[in-house]
Structure formats: structure tokens, C-alpha cells
Structure 1
Amino acid sequence: MKYIKTISLAVLFLGVSQMNAQKKATDTQKKETAKQKQVDNPTKCSNIKDGTFLRVNYPKNLWYMTVKDNVQTEYYNDGKDHIKSSIVFVDDCNYKLIVLEKTEEANLIKIGDVFSNKVVATQDNYIKIQSKIDNDQFDLVLIKAKTK
């Protein structure tokens, strides 16, 4: 009988300690969620108008982009190839890209192609863009490289 009481007491303490551990984990998750920065409100669409941009999880030698004086140039293949487009802003957050030149013949993008882009969200130096051409749509997350 003494063993049953001891085991019951041990199980009770184990259950209480497990509940405390779960509560601490939940509290930690809540604090971490609260620390995560919210998206900019309003969206800072002007961030796309000038600078050097990288794609999230892409090394710079694979792809990067510059925007200056309403010209967007995307570099890839270690900067050996590029696609240059003219930027026409429809409003602060919407713009069209008109492809002016490209260096790689095998690339499916053609001179004269028009992309409709929209800045849908920003957060610090991150920019989420929705891009459409014909019936295709895709989302890009870019990070604006810091200037020295």
C-alpha cells in the first residue's frame, strides 16, 4: 500500500512538472511570436524604385537585380547574362516591366514582353512582389541590399 501511495505521488509530481514545462514552452512561443516584426503598414512601395536586390535563398552569383532611373536589370549566371527592362509605374505599388534586351538566347523571355508587377508587402528591407505575364503569376520575395 505504501508503494502505491509513493507511485501515485510520483506520477502526480511528474504530471504537474510536465504541465509546467508545456506552459513554459507555450509562453516562450507567445513571446517569440510577439517579437516577430509585423509587415509595414502602409506598404513601403518606394523601396523597389532604386537599389540592388537579392532573392531570398539565392546566392548573388545565381541571381541579383539592380534598379536605377526606371531601368531594372536582372543578372544571372555569375553576372555574365542579363535581362534589362524599362519600368513604367502605374501608381505607387503597381508597375509594368517592358523587356528591352537580353543576352541569353535560350531564355524564354522575349524582347517586348510585358510583366505586370505589384508590391504586395514590405517588411524592413524585404519586398514581396506579385508578377504576372500572360496567364502566369508568381510571387517573389526580394531583399534590398544595404548600401555602404
Structure 2
Amino acid sequence: MKHLKIGAAALLMVVSSQAKSQKTAVGKLDQPVNCKNIREGKFLRPNYPEGIWYMTIKNNVQTEYFNNGKDYIKSTLVFVDDCNYKAIVLEKSDKNDPVQIGDVFNNQIVETQDNLLRVQSRMEKNKFELIYVKVKK
């Protein structure tokens, strides 16, 4: 039982450190926010190896890759303005993934810093925040 409590505590610490790292920005933020950075490129997430997750955006098509690129979710992007866009799921490879074709994610870029983008995403009543790192060429 003691080992179970220690394991649970360790897991909680890892999860909370991941959550903190997603909210931490270092340095001076771009003024104004550089929202056009999301329009095209390859993106990673801090503390996520590329084999777990990466995303590409080209010609208003966003593709998120998982499982070393074996699985994906493809969405079309509809820009409301430079900093607000909708991602509408078009295809997915993993039938067990809870994301469904036709799901709409409303996204807002709230902060940028060089190649970092902080994005707030909403789907129905669920709201979450993501940090993307744009891979420099």
C-alpha cells in the first residue's frame, strides 16, 4: 500500500510539472502578438518528444501526428481573423481516439514569443491551453 501511495504521489508531481511547463513563458512577449506564425510550419510541444506528438500546418490543413507518425488527426483551418481560427476535424486514423470527424475546435492565439505560441482551445464546454513551439528552418 505504501508503494502505491508513493507511486501516486510521483505521478501527481510529474503531471503538475508538465502542467506548469505548459504555462511558463520565458523572456519578453511579442507586442503585438505574432499570430501569423500559426499559418504554416511544423510545431512541437514543450516536453513532448516528437515521436509522441508533432503537428504540421500547410494550406490551411493541420495534421497532428502521434505514435511516431503512425496515427494522425487531420483538420481544416478556418481563420476568423489573424489570431482566431477554427479547426474542423476531417480525418483520423485511430478509431479509438475520442476526437470525432466533424468536431470543431475554436482556437485563439493569446501570446507569442519568438517561436512560441500560447493557444487557448475550446470545444463545446471544454477549454484548455496549449503551447506550441514552431520549428525553425
Q: Shorter-chain TM-score category?
A: 0.7 to 0.9
- Give the match for residue 81 of structure 1: 71
- Residue-pair matches, total: 112
Say whether residues 1:45 and 2:35 are aligned partners. yes
Question: Where is the helix percentage greater, Structure 1 or Structure 2?
Answer: 1
Say whether residues 1:99 and 2:89 are aligned partners. yes
Under a length normalisation based on structure 2, what TM-score does the superposition of the two structures give? 0.81
Shift of residue 96, structure 1, vs aligned partner: 0.2
Q: Runs (4+) of structure 1 moved beyond 4 Å?
A: none
- Give the match for residue 22 of structure 1: none
* AA aligned opposite 2:93: T
Under a length normalisation based on structure 1, what TM-score does the superposition of the two structures give? 0.75
Shift of residue 37, structure 1, vs aligned partner: 2.4
% identical equivalent positions? 54
Output the CA distance in 2 between the equivalents of 1:107 and 1:134: 17
Q: CA RMSD in A?
A: 0.7
Alignment gaps of 5+ in structure 1: 1-35
Output the CA distance in 1 between the equivalents of 2:30 and 2:80: 21
Residues 116-136 of structure 1, C-alpha deviations (whole Å, 9 max, x = no match): 000000001000000000100
Say whether residues 1:139 and 2:129 are aligned partners. yes
- Give the match for residue 104 of structure 2: 114
Alignment gaps of 5+ in structure 2: 1-25
* AA aligned opposite 2:43: F
* AA aligned opposite 1:72: Q
- Give the match for residue 117 of structure 2: 127
